[in-house]
Homo-oligomer: A and B are copies of this chain.
């Protein structure tokens, strides 16, 4: 029954041979991988204003344009650097993780890996929070339910992703292109409208009321903080280079096309929206996002506004989906390198790394619950990880060009060098200006993750040596010692004792007595049956059945000789209906587990199937 339900939700399993077919074309790759970067348009500008407006009020709009230009400049530097990574690594994925590991060594790789995994997680949390904000900007009544809505969306994304890559690509193409179209209309229509009524370049109104007295240092600080918030616009741009092997052949060229298109689109949308926000003097409010206020002022409160909100909400939810492609892939690479539990590296029956998908969903849900589903609270955690990964990856590329010294290496090294220096500076700026607002959390989490990776790796290495067959010493086992724990004399027990007798003559039944009346009855029944097997009674004044039994077995184990092997037979009846299990003590299962962990004996379950 469970199996059928699973099939209905996840779909039929796919054969391993189908892996190659589950890949992106350029338009589909853009749909899947661009949504993260493009959708950040919906909150990046707002986050800049969130920092500026409370401190310098309407003067903020004077700084909005220069900050946005700095971010767009950064966008082009980063995307040129990533182009070179795609050229250098056309067939491997993992982006920053692989680049750093190959060129700068394991530790740098693990730092980049940790930063990226954390970044994917925040992509899900931030995008879903912002997407729900798009919804609640249109329907204020939904505001108190934002966390529940976010959790429902996460569940939905997990299920879609467990169904498989290609199906989700088709499904998710429409909203991405819908959002791009909607933004184009908004920007064109809005610019025209403002141009006609002559307000498109209207000066910022002079601040009235309380004057702002900020020292120059404080002003620089607040501008840097605003810039740091705006840098979240760049998150997601690395998704393309991390997912190169997910593209149709030729992977590298297709990926580069998608990256170029993405940078161009991001420039147009982010720039255009900044222009409108500035002209309309929109400031963040609690109930409505900045982008929704712009749309409301341009489109008016009609059908177009609601359609635009829906498309913003959808692309943000899909942005979360980008991470559902990237996180499991990166986790699987790290699992294969033995830095993460091995099962993160196994493809499920839809060829998806199912465990990674589920893990990401659960962690993102946790983050949303902790931060109450509010985008602004999550933002300070976001950019540090991304820019750390950027910096490590670009530095790795610099090292690579220097070592290889292939044609044009100086030019290539220069491009990645600029990338490394600029993203390095941004990382430091973000870490310092956002420290007290949450960046400190990242500075604890990333080193913790790295040390977990190393611990896991050490464990797998240790085990590999211990399990190595080359060290195997053939033992001569001759004599079997059998112990059968019993509670009463039933068919199940008799069946088990009979099985035990076929294994060895050295067999003992052991009963733990918690009630002397029951024990006496058992002894009489046993004597009448007379199976030729000794019945040993252990007393248990504290009513625990396990402790006396396990102590006894450990004692027998201590006194056994080298050629003996002890086998404990556990009689177990199997019920016909699953709920019947709840009506019986799971003694057998618990005992089996305890024995396997605490002793060296062999544990055998002898099942007896009931008919009713």
Contact code string A433-471 (vs B, CB < 8 Å = 1, else 0): 000000000000000000000001001101100111101
Query: A489 vs B472: C-alpha distance in the bound complex, in angstroms?
Result: 10
Name the residue on B nearest A480 (C-beta): B502
**Does A22 sit at the interface, judged by CB under 8 A?**
no
Q: Which residues of B contact A606 (CB under 8 A)?
A: 602
Q: From the candidates B467, B597, B607, name the one contacting A491 in the complex (CB within 8 A).
A: B467
| CB contact between A499 and one of B471, B574, B602 (< 8 Å): that residue | B602
Distance between Cα atoms of A169 and B64 in the complex (Å): 68
Decide: A604 and B604 in contact? CB cutoff 8 A: yes
A611 at the interface (CB under 8 A from B): yes
Which residue of chain B has its CB nearest to the CB of A348?
A: B543
Q: How far is the CA of A543 from the CA of B90 in the complex (A)?
A: 27
Question: Does A582 sit at the interface, judged by CB under 8 A?
Answer: yes
Q: Is A143 an interface residue (CB 8 A)?
A: no
Does A15 touch B at the CB level, under 8 Å? yes
Answer whether residue A250 sits at the interface, using C-beta atoms and an 8 A cutoff. no
Count chain A residues whose beta carbon lies closer than 8 angstroms to a beta carbon of B: 72
* Residue numbers in B under 8 Å from A582 (CB-CB): 341
B585 touches A343 (CB 8 A): yes
A residues 565-608 touching B (CB-CB < 8 Å): 565, 567, 572-575, 580, 582-585, 592, 596-597, 600-607
User: A268 at the A/B interface (Cβ < 8 Å)?
Assistant: no
- Would A604 and B567 be within 8 Å (CB), given that A582-B341, A610-B466 are in contact? yes
Of all A-B residue pairs in the complex, the 5 with the closest CB atoms, nearest first, are A467-B490, A604-B604, A462-B612, A13-B542, A15-B541
**Are B502 and A467 within 8 A (Cβ)?**
no
Q: Which residues of B sit under 8 angstroms from A16, Cβ to Cβ?
A: 514, 541-543
With both chains docked as a complex, state the minimum distance between the C-beta of A91 and any C-beta of chain B, in angstroms. Answer: 18
Using an 8 Å CB-CB cutoff, how does the interface string of A482-499 with B read, 1 for contact, 0 for none?
A: 000000011111110011
Chain B residue numbers with a CB within 8 Å of A13 are: 542-544
Whether a CB of chain B sits under 8 angstroms from the CB of A477 is yes
| Residues of the B chain whose Cβ atoms lie less than 8 Å from the Cβ of A471 | 491
Q: Which of B469, B498, B596 contacts A605, CB < 8 Å?
A: B596
Q: Is A609 an interface residue (CB 8 A)?
A: yes
Bound complex: CA A407 to CA B525 (Å):
46
Which residues, 368 to 392 on A, are CB-close (under 8 Å) to B?
none
Whether A491 and B503, one on each chain, are in contact in the complex, defined by CB atoms closer than 8 angstroms, is no
Q: Which of B349, B498, B610 contacts A542 (CB 8 A)?
A: B349
Which B residues touch A541, using CB under 8 A?
A: 15-17
Q: Which of A328-375 contact B (CB under 8 A)?
A: 341-343, 346-349
- Interface assignment of A529: CB less than 8 Å from any CB of chain B: yes
17 additional A-B pairs beyond A346-B543, A460-B583, A467-B573, beta carbons within 8 Å, are A15-B542, A346-B585, A349-B543, A349-B544, A462-B610, A463-B573, A467-B490, A467-B492, A469-B493, A469-B529, A472-B495, A475-B495, A475-B498, A477-B499, A596-B607, A601-B607, A602-B607
Verify if A478 is at the interface (C-beta below 8 Å from B): yes
- Complex-state Cα separation, A497 to B612, whole angstroms: 36
Q: Complex: how many Å from CA A343 to CA B585?
A: 6
Residue in B478, B583, B584, B605 whose beta carbon sits within 8 Å of that of A502 in the complex: B478
Chain B residues within 8 Å of A592, by CB = 605
Residue pairs across A and B with Cβ atoms less than 8 A apart, 7 shown, are A342-B584, A468-B490, A468-B491, A474-B494, A567-B604, A574-B596, A603-B605
| A494, B466: Cβ atoms closer than 8 Å | no
Indicate if A14 sits at the interface (CB-CB under 8 A). Answer: yes
The answer on a CB contact under 8 Å between A612 and B466 is yes
A611 touching B466, Cβ below 8 Å: yes
A463 and B490 alpha carbons, distance in the complex (Å): 10
Q: How far is the CB of A514 from chain B (nearest CB, A)?
A: 7
* CA A575 to CA B472, docked complex, whole Å: 18
